[in-house]
């Protein structure tokens, strides 16, 4: 995660965060909460979402373009907020980019490995993330012998984006998806997709209180803070009054993005700039 040869930027340079669309705002929100002095540049690839059903080659190409764009904004670090992009593209980004890059998968895997008592962990995520077996790979490295069961839950993304966070339809679908994980008696469940922390209460209700839910968005913000601290890059003073702390970019129309952002982040987001990401 922390490369050997990293370029260092001033402490008050922004953090770059990207996702396939709106979901990564759950990571943005955690960074905002845990590091209130930091400036953030967020990019949501609203023109090319979803990533969860695309190939590794495509997601890697998209991720590299976005990382190049974020570097034009002089970001001091890049957070790959998307689980699918973290699963498919993190290694290549780390090799190509000379600033620290952090994904959401490793922090989530680490906490899950620490938290399981009975050695049975579940992961819910997109088809791509589950197919990549990336969570299993990291967890097995940290805690050999643990059993990891993955379940793709593709309908959760559109349900969340439709605002059906507490709804009988979401309940019913969640019951069907989660039944097999309940049957095998997992004690820890990773919410391995950007959108899932927003239906945490539905998932928690179905899994029952004996199952620990791991939110990679929260754990990533925690690790990011630790990493920036170690590198001497944590911003210790609040941005100047009147300066723009948060900037948003998208690759397609901004209105839906702004509506969704304001539904989950209490900041009053007024605009998101549309750019042509294919130019990068």
Longest Cα pair distance anywhere in the chain, in angstroms? 54
Residue 191 main-chain phi, psi, to 5 deg: -85, 80
Annotated active-site residue in 15, 80, 82, 160: 82
Q: Please tell me whether residue 198 binds ligand DGL under the rule CB under 6 A.
A: no
Stretch that binds ligand DGL, among 45-53, 89-97, 206-214, 230-238 (CB under 6 A): 45-53
Three-state DSSP class for residue 152: strand
Closest-by-Cβ residue to ligand DGL is 52
Stretch that binds ligand DGL, among 90-98, 188-196, 231-239, 271-279 (CB under 6 A): 188-196
Stretch that binds ligand DGL, among 15-23, 27-35, 183-191, 199-207 (CB under 6 A): 15-23
Judged by CB under 6 A, the number of residues near ligand DGL is 16
Among the listed residues 46, 60, 126, 170, the single contact to ligand DGL using CB under 6 A: 126
Q: Please tell me whether residue 83 binds ligand DGL under the rule CB under 6 A.
A: yes
Q: How far is the CB of 50 from ligand DGL (least distance, A)?
A: 3
Stretch that binds ligand DGL, among 112-120, 191-199, 202-210, 225-233 (CB under 6 A): 191-199
Please list, in sequence order, all residues whose beta carbon lies within 8 angstroms of the beta carbon of residue 156, skipping any fewer than 6 positions away. 124, 170, 173, 174, 177, 193, 195, 196, 199
From 241, 237, 224, select the one nearest 11 (Cα to Cα).
237
Q: Please tell me whether residue 235 binds ligand DGL under the rule CB under 6 A.
A: no
DSSP 225-244: HHHHHHTT----SPPPTTS-
Q: How far is the CB of 211 from ligand DGL (least distance, A)?
A: 21
* Catalytic-residue membership of 193: yes
Q: Where are the alpha helices (DSSP H) in the chain?
A: 25-34, 56-72, 83-96, 105-115, 127-132, 134-142, 156-161, 168-183, 200-207, 216-230, 255-264
Q: How far is the CB of 46 from ligand DGL (least distance, A)?
A: 10
DSSP 16-47: EEEESSSTTHHHHHHHHHH-TT--EEEEE-TT
Q: How far is the CB of 25 from ligand DGL (least distance, A)?
A: 10
Annotated active-site residue in 190, 193, 228, 261: 193
CA 119 to chain centre: 25
Q: Which two tokens stand for residue 128?
A: 């791509």
* Catalytic-residue membership of 153: no
Please list, in sequence order, all residues whose beta carbon lies within 8 angstroms of the beta carbon of residue 176, skipping any fewer than 6 positions away. none
Q: Please tell me whether residue 63 binds ligand DGL under the rule CB under 6 A.
A: no
d(CA 227, CA 248): 24
Among the listed residues 13, 25, 41, 49, the single contact to ligand DGL using CB under 6 A: 49
Q: Please tell me whether residue 170 binds ligand DGL under the rule CB under 6 A.
A: no
Stretch that binds ligand DGL, among 47-55, 91-99, 241-249, 250-258 (CB under 6 A): 47-55
Q: How far is the CB of 86 from ligand DGL (least distance, A)?
A: 8
The residue ranges that bind ligand DGL (CB under 6 A) are 19-20, 23, 49-52, 82-84, 126, 129, 157, 193-195
Which residue numbers are catalytic?
82, 193
């Amino acid at each position: 995660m922390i490369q050997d040869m990293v370029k260092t930027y001033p402490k008050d340079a922004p953090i770059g965060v990207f996702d396939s669309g709106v979901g990564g705002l759950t990571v943005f929100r955690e960074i905002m909460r845990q590091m209130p002095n930091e400036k953030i540049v967020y990019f949501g690839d609203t023109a090319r979402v979803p990533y969860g059903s695309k190939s590794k080659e495509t997601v890697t190409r998209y991720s590299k373009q976005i990382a190049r764009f974020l570097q034009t904004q002089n970001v001091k670090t890049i957070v790959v907020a998307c689980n699918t992009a973290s699963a498919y593209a993190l290694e290549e980004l780390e090799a190509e980019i000379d600033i620290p890059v952090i994904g959401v998968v490793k922090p989530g895997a680490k906490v899950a490995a620490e938290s399981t008592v009975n050695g049975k962990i579940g992961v819910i995520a997109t088809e791509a993330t589950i197919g990549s077996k990336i969570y299993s790979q990291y967890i097995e490295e940290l805690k050999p012998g643990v059993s990891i069961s993955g379940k793709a839950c593709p309908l959760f993304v559109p349900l969340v984006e439709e605002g059906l966070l507490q709804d009988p339809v979401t309940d019913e679908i969640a019951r069907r998806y989660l039944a097999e994980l309940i049957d095998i008696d997992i004690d820890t469940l990773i919410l391995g997709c950007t959108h899932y922390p927003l239906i945490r209460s539905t998932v928690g209700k179905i899994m029952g209180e004996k199952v620990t839910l791991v939110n990679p968005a929260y754990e990533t913000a925690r690790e990011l803070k630790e990493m920036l601290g170690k590198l001497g890059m944590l911003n210790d003073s609040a941005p100047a009054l009147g300066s723009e702390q948060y900037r948003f970019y998208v690759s397609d129309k901004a209105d839906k993005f702004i509506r969704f952002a304001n539904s989950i982040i209490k900041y009053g987001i007024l605009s998101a700039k549309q750019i042509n990401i294919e130019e990068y």
